[in-house]
């Protein structure tokens, strides 16, 4: 577009955005501010503003001290009442994946007991693992299932079934999302290791509760997603 009213930084942002879309791969490094300033014949402040606009649109991201890089198009993860991870990602052309890291029984923590309507100390099955999209780790999850309500869950998950199939094997033919609570936090060392991020990088924190057809809680989950790689989309049913 050429619009005389459009500020210079905005025109540079659009130009760079088109060039990135046309030919730069995710992870590619942009030229330095000085190089871009020279190329466009503007000062570095103008370049910085253009880069900030691209970063705001999620097209590039800055790593302090290292430069500015082309962002991968994030995986879109829909949050609906009937959200199913595998089906939802497949629908957007991604290959979904899941790697279970551990399956173990524990006495319920206060958070787990409160969400699952259990007494503190009642046993829950904790399943911890990684969520993948096109082979790239995008998130870490930890789900708690009420053991007494779902005695066959450990065996089902352990045999490699997904959550939907495991719940079905335990007599829960269907489930719905009661609520999801979302915030942003900084990756700690453990999460940074799982998600291949740096400590302090922004992660989405999503806590959620799933209910069986009778309204009883069947899964309480806490998931963290790499901010750069995931967009949660809320589309009312």
Footprint of a copy of itself on this chain (CB under 8 A)? 1, 3, 5-6, 10, 14, 17, 52, 55-58, 61, 64, 74, 76, 79-81, 106-107, 109-111, 120-121, 176-186, 188, 190, 200-205, 222, 225, 227-228, 230-237
Closer of 156 and 220 to a copy of itself (Cβ): 220
Closer of 31 and 74 to a copy of itself (Cβ): 74
Shortest distance in whole angstroms from residue 104 CB to a copy of itself: 12
Residue 199: phi and psi, rounded to 5, are -55, 135
Q: How far is CA 1 from CA 21, 49, 54, 103, 174, in A?
A: 16, 19, 16, 55, 50
Shortest distance in whole angstroms from residue 7 CB to a copy of itself: 9
- 3-state SS assignment for residue 57: coil
Closer of 121 and 158 to a copy of itself (Cβ): 121
DSSP state of 6: S
d(CA 168, CA 62): 44
- 3-state SS assignment for residue 38: helix
Shortest distance in whole angstroms from residue 141 CB to a copy of itself: 13
- 3-state SS assignment for residue 194: helix
Closer of 90 and 233 to a copy of itself (Cβ): 233
**Class of residue 196 by CB neighbours under 10 A (exposed 0-12, middle 13-18, buried 19+):** exposed
Shortest distance in whole angstroms from residue 210 CB to a copy of itself: 12
Closer of 5 and 214 to a copy of itself (Cβ): 5
DSSP state of 106: E
At which residue do the structure tokens 């099955």 appear?
125
Shortest distance in whole angstroms from residue 160 CB to a copy of itself: 28
């Amino acid at each position: 577009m050429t619009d005389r009213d459009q500020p210079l930084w905005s025109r540079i942002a659009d130009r760079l955005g088109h060039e990135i879309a046309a030919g730069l791969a995710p992870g590619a490094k942009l030229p330095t501010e000085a190089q871009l300033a020279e190329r466009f014949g503007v000062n570095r402040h103008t370049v910085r503003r253009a880069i900030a606009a691209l970063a705001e649109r999620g097209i590039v991201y800055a790593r302090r001290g290292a430069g500015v890089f082309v962002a991968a198009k994030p995986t879109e993860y829909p949050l609906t009442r009937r959200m199913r991870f595998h089906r939802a990602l497949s629908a957007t052309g991604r290959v979904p994946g899941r790697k279970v890291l551990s399956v173990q029984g524990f006495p319920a923590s206060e958070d787990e007991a409160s969400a699952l309507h259990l007494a503190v100390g009642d046993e829950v099955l904790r399943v911890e693992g990684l969520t993948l999209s096109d082979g790239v780790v995008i998130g870490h999850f930890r789900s708690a299932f009420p053991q007494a309500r779902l005695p066959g869950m450990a065996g089902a998950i352990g045999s490699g079934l997904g959550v939907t199939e495991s719940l079905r094997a335990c007599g829960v033919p269907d489930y719905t999302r009661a609520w999801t609570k979302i915030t942003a936090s900084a990756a700690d060392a453990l999460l940074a290791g799982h998600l291949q991020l740096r400590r302090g990088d922004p992660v989405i924190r999503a806590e959620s509760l799933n209910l069986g057809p009778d309204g009883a809680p069947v899964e309480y989950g806490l998931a963290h997603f790499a901010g750069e790689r995931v967009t949660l989309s809320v589309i009312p049913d």
